[in-house]
Chains A and B, each alone.
Chain A
Amino acid sequence: MGRLSLRQIPYQNPILVGTFVFALILGAAIVGLVTYHKRWGVLWREWLTTVDHKKIGVMYCLIGLVMLFRGFIDALMIRTQQAIAVGPHSPGYLGALHGYLTPFHAGQIFTAHGLIMVVFAATPLLVGLMNIIVPLQIGARDMAYPYLNALGLWLTAAGAALVMVSLFIGNFAHGGWYGFVPYFELPYSPGVGVDYWLWAFQLSVLGTTLGSINLIATIVKMRAPGMTWMRMPIFTWASLSANLIALTTFPVLMVCLALLASDRYFGTHFYTAGMGGNLMLYNDLFWVWGHPEVYFLILPAFGMMSEIVPTFSEKTLFGYATMVIASFAIGGVSWGVWLHHFFTMAAAPSVNSFYSVTTMLVGIPTGVKVFNWIFTMYRGRVRFELPMMWAVLSLFLLLVGGLTGMMNAFATNDYMWHNGVFVVAHFHLMVLLIAASIFGSVEYWFPKVFGFKLEARWGKAFFWCIVLGTGWVFIPMFLLGFAGMTRRLDYIPYTQWGPYLRVMLVGMGFYILAVAFFFMHLYVSLRDRAKNRVGADAWGTSRSLEWMTHSPVPAYNFAFVPQVHARDEWAWRKEQGVADLKSGPYRDIHMPGNTGVPFVLGALALALAFALTWRIWWLSGLALALCVAVVIVRAFAEDTDTVISAQDVERAERRYHDGEVVPMEEPMGRPTPRPAT
């Protein structure tokens, strides 16, 4: 069994045992509910084997939400530890000298927090939303490669699962989410923690790269007739730019991590100190991906704001063309700024100056976007419904986060506070901006996907608690940054920092309330869904193509592939009074067929990654061989698509027109009759 043995189960740690019991109860409850309602068949047929971009998107979002919750618990532990472990006289519990987390445990927590929030929470949520919305916005029936889409999902799921497994078997890396060499080399980190980190990261890289290929191909090749480039909704443009970044930079990370793996597993010395290795190469390769990655995250968020703001200002977006250019300018500049993450590595002054300037250049297109949103609101009929509230919050967070980013961009400043909590506060505002846009667009597009709006009362309470929590946590953090506090401390040597750290706990209290309100928000919305039913155009003032089709969206998206006439097609149709026109009789619709292969491949990838982590060679070999075999077998499959017959389409359309709710998981379509050969 390689390095795996029963001693690797951390049953001495009460926190982990508690978590395990919680996970067990939750898992049992889910299994019980599914069994009780006899839903296993539906779960398998309509969800786990689906290739429908909307369902895949929903599952991406669910993974993102679960991991967001896990990452939040990590954050809670870091904040409480730092509030307790202040000064030499602070108490210690659970075997820790100060606070209740040993340095080893605290290290695992901040490492997992960072990795989870960036690649297993924010990324799946954004990829999920792009998956759902982009094909609808361009009038496509599905993604260009539906099968690949499902594969990306299940690889991401495998990565997330691997991080979760590390809680209960063995341990996780404890040196920070982006890794350090030579510290992450085998002699200095001999445990399995770094291997868990490495393979989980690698799985998500693979999943995201596949997803980016798919979204790019979809946007380039699958647009409805008349959907010219300059008629594409801004969210689609932003997704294109973001995924171009992903496609060009994720492979760099894959190589970066593969070289580290090669050092750890084959004893090569790419990153060793000495022996011809070069430890600075790791930083370089990592951030060649790392900085573009943050723009990969923020561009879709900008796209979401650009959809929400016009809808709730009842105006067309100000400066469409500049918005497109700005999205691509941000994408373009993002390839040339990465060194600002290691200004202090002692590159020549000319090099640091170059990167200072390129980093500041990002401010220009970003500023253009900000003014465009403001001018969209200016003299609009602004309605502060939930999506709009989140979009405005995003705008404020962008201002503070962007300006502090500018402060970091001066290499001279950065020399003083690099690896301090000022930087941490900067990027948290940026990432919270992304989270805020995500929550805004979940509110915004939820009725499109599920056919009813989320209620507003608990939703507003949730919103305001996030606002308060953010202020109470991050304003003190900026102040501590100025005071010189470094990041990732498990023990606070200066007692004068204590009060600030305790004030942050107030903020964490608000965040906890926010989580509770979020669950209430979901629960009440689900309970009262009949009351909050909406038709196709949920908000009444929306403008783009996705609002043209029914809510919830039928499996085939559009009964007729729409002909696009204008930039804001749906707004155009409403103005022209042609919103209800139908064209011709219904036709058979050719759709991709469901398949369990991506799910199986995801499971095998998880087995492979787990086996590599624990160095169980027979299992690694077996899982890899099975992966290859499954791919080959699948290559010979002939029944890969289905046809939804014209009658089925007509029946479904009639039900929609009668105001009936057609549930998302209702099966549609049947295997294509084999063509006579």
Chain B
Amino acid sequence: MSASHHDPLSHPEVQLASGRGYVANFLVTTLLMGFGLWLSVTHAVAPLTLVAVTSGIAAVAVGVQAYLLLHMNLSEAQIWHTVAMILFLPLFVVTIGLTAWMFHGLYARTMIMSPHIGAFLHR
């Protein structure tokens, strides 16, 4: 409805675009995820450490993408990305939390192998 309607290049989110940022984002996140994959296929660290380390890597990757790819900030044009991200956090915590709570009781009650034992057998 504003003037920017007719000139796509003046849209604020288009103004934020940066080829260098995108390439950097691609390289960094690919490296991070590749590292996580390598850790898990080679069983380089103990299972519980692995969970912690890969989660940490994932968090860093999310941060990098939020900054370099989505350009999250509080400006009028970008605030929806930021709000969506923040609204999503409690959901994430609830889903993972409730799942972990269930598995916590489940291993004791079923014959399923805990990730511990499974990983050791595989090695």
A residues contacting B by CB (< 8 A) are: 220, 248, 252, 273-280, 284, 288, 335-336, 339, 345-348, 350-351, 590, 675
Give the secondary structure class of B's interface.
helix
Residue of A248, A276, A339, A345 near B122 (CB, 8 A) is: A276
Using known A-B contacts A276-B118, A278-B115, determine if residue A335 contacts B94 with beta carbons closer than 8 Å: yes
A274 CA to B118 CA in the complex, in Å? Answer: 6
A675 CA to B3 CA in the complex, in Å? Answer: 13
The answer to whether A351 touches B94, judged by C-beta atoms less than 8 angstroms apart, is no
Please indicate the chain A residues that have their CB under 8 angstroms from the CB of B80 in the complex. Answer: 220
Residue of A248, A275, A351, A590 near B5 (CB, 8 A) is: A590
Please indicate the chain B residues that have their CB under 8 angstroms from the CB of A288 in the complex. Answer: 95, 99
Query: Which residue of A252, A279, A346 has the most chain B CB atoms within 10 A of its CB atom?
Result: A346
The answer to whether B102 touches A347, judged by C-beta atoms less than 8 angstroms apart, is yes
> Beta-carbon contacts of B1-37 to A below 8 Å, as 1s and 0s?
0000111000000000000000000000000000000
The answer to whether A277 touches B106, judged by C-beta atoms less than 8 angstroms apart, is no
B94 to chain A, nearest CB (A): 6
Residue of A252, A276, A280 near B103 (CB, 8 A) is: A280
The answer to whether A278 touches B122, judged by C-beta atoms less than 8 angstroms apart, is no
Please indicate the chain A residues that have their CB under 8 angstroms from the CB of B102 in the complex. Answer: 284, 339, 347-348, 351
A248 CA to B93 CA in the complex, in Å? Answer: 13
A644 to chain B, nearest CB (A): 15
Extra A-B contacts (5), CB below 8 Å, given A347-B109, A348-B106, A351-B101:
A335-B95, A347-B105, A348-B104, A350-B105, A351-B102
Please indicate the chain B residues that have their CB under 8 angstroms from the CB of A346 in the complex. Answer: 106, 109-110
Using known A-B contacts A335-B95, A339-B98, determine if residue A280 contacts B106 with beta carbons closer than 8 Å: yes
A560 to chain B, nearest CB (A): 13
Closest to A342 in B: B102
Query: Which residue of A273, A277, A278 has the most chain B CB atoms within 10 A of its CB atom?
Result: A278
* B86 sits at the interface (CB 8 A): no
Closest to A284 in B: B99
A335 CA to B108 CA in the complex, in Å? Answer: 26
Please indicate the chain B residues that have their CB under 8 angstroms from the CB of A335 in the complex. Answer: 91, 94-95
The answer to whether B98 touches A336, judged by C-beta atoms less than 8 angstroms apart, is yes
Using known A-B contacts A351-B101, A675-B6, determine if residue A276 contacts B115 with beta carbons closer than 8 Å: yes
A590 CA to B3 CA in the complex, in Å? Answer: 13
B7 to chain A, nearest CB (A): 8
A219 to chain B, nearest CB (A): 12
Using known A-B contacts A284-B99, A347-B102, determine if residue A276 contacts B112 with beta carbons closer than 8 Å: no
A279 CA to B113 CA in the complex, in Å? Answer: 10
B3 to chain A, nearest CB (A): 12
A500 to chain B, nearest CB (A): 35
A311 to chain B, nearest CB (A): 31
The answer to whether B5 touches A278, judged by C-beta atoms less than 8 angstroms apart, is no
* B62 sits at the interface (CB 8 A): no
List 10 A-B pairs, minimum CB-CB distance, nearest first. A348-B105, A276-B118, A346-B109, A347-B102, A276-B119, A351-B102, A346-B110, A276-B122, A284-B99, A275-B122
Closest to A672 in B: B6
The answer to whether A279 touches B105, judged by C-beta atoms less than 8 angstroms apart, is no
What are 26 A-to-B residue pairs whose CB atoms are below 8 Å?
A: A248-B88, A252-B95, A274-B121, A275-B122, A276-B119, A276-B121, A276-B122, A278-B115, A279-B112, A280-B103, A284-B99, A284-B102, A288-B95, A336-B94, A339-B98, A346-B110, A347-B105, A347-B109, A348-B105, A348-B106, A348-B108, A348-B109, A351-B102, A351-B105, A675-B6, A675-B7
Please indicate the chain A residues that have their CB under 8 angstroms from the CB of B112 in the complex. Answer: 273, 278-280
Please indicate the chain A residues that have their CB under 8 angstroms from the CB of B98 in the complex. Answer: 336, 339
A284 CA to B122 CA in the complex, in Å? Answer: 24
Contacting A at CB under 8 A, from B79-101, are 80, 88, 91, 94-95, 98-99, 101
Please indicate the chain B residues that have their CB under 8 angstroms from the CB of A339 in the complex. Answer: 98, 102
Please indicate the chain A residues that have their CB under 8 angstroms from the CB of B101 in the complex. Answer: 351
Please indicate the chain A residues that have their CB under 8 angstroms from the CB of B91 in the complex. Answer: 248, 335
Please indicate the chain B residues that have their CB under 8 angstroms from the CB of A336 in the complex. Answer: 94, 98
A2 to chain B, nearest CB (A): 27
Using known A-B contacts A276-B115, A278-B115, determine if residue A347 contacts B106 with beta carbons closer than 8 Å: yes
A277 CA to B115 CA in the complex, in Å? Answer: 8
The answer to whether B6 touches A275, judged by C-beta atoms less than 8 angstroms apart, is no
Please indicate the chain A residues that have their CB under 8 angstroms from the CB of B118 in the complex. Answer: 274-277
Closest to B109 in A: A346
Please indicate the chain A residues that have their CB under 8 angstroms from the CB of B88 in the complex. Answer: 248
Query: Which residue of B95, B101, B121 has the most chain A CB atoms within 10 A of its CB atom?
Result: B95
Please indicate the chain A residues that have their CB under 8 angstroms from the CB of B7 in the complex. Answer: 675
Please indicate the chain A residues that have their CB under 8 angstroms from the CB of B109 in the complex. Answer: 346-348
A345 CA to B119 CA in the complex, in Å? Answer: 23
Please indicate the chain B residues that have their CB under 8 angstroms from the CB of A351 in the complex. Answer: 101-102, 105
> Beta-carbon contacts of B57-82 to A below 8 Å, as 1s and 0s?
00000000000000000000000100
B53 to chain A, nearest CB (A): 16
A165 CA to B102 CA in the complex, in Å? Answer: 39
Please indicate the chain A residues that have their CB under 8 angstroms from the CB of B113 in the complex. Answer: 274, 276
Please indicate the chain A residues that have their CB under 8 angstroms from the CB of B95 in the complex. Answer: 252, 288, 335
A109 to chain B, nearest CB (A): 32
B75 to chain A, nearest CB (A): 15
A350 CA to B104 CA in the complex, in Å? Answer: 11
A590 CA to B6 CA in the complex, in Å? Answer: 9
Please indicate the chain A residues that have their CB under 8 angstroms from the CB of B119 in the complex. Answer: 276
A161 CA to B84 CA in the complex, in Å? Answer: 34
Please indicate the chain B residues that have their CB under 8 angstroms from the CB of A252 in the complex. Answer: 95
A642 to chain B, nearest CB (A): 13
A230 CA to B31 CA in the complex, in Å? Answer: 47
Closest to B112 in A: A280
Using known A-B contacts A248-B91, A288-B95, A351-B101, determine if residue A345 contacts B106 with beta carbons closer than 8 Å: yes
A621 CA to B95 CA in the complex, in Å? Answer: 35
A100 CA to B24 CA in the complex, in Å? Answer: 61
A274 CA to B121 CA in the complex, in Å? Answer: 9
A220 CA to B103 CA in the complex, in Å? Answer: 38
Please indicate the chain A residues that have their CB under 8 angstroms from the CB of B115 in the complex. Answer: 276, 278
Please indicate the chain B residues that have their CB under 8 angstroms from the CB of A275 in the complex. Answer: 118, 121-122
A23 to chain B, nearest CB (A): 42
Closest to B95 in A: A288
A278 CA to B117 CA in the complex, in Å? Answer: 12
A153 CA to B27 CA in the complex, in Å? Answer: 33
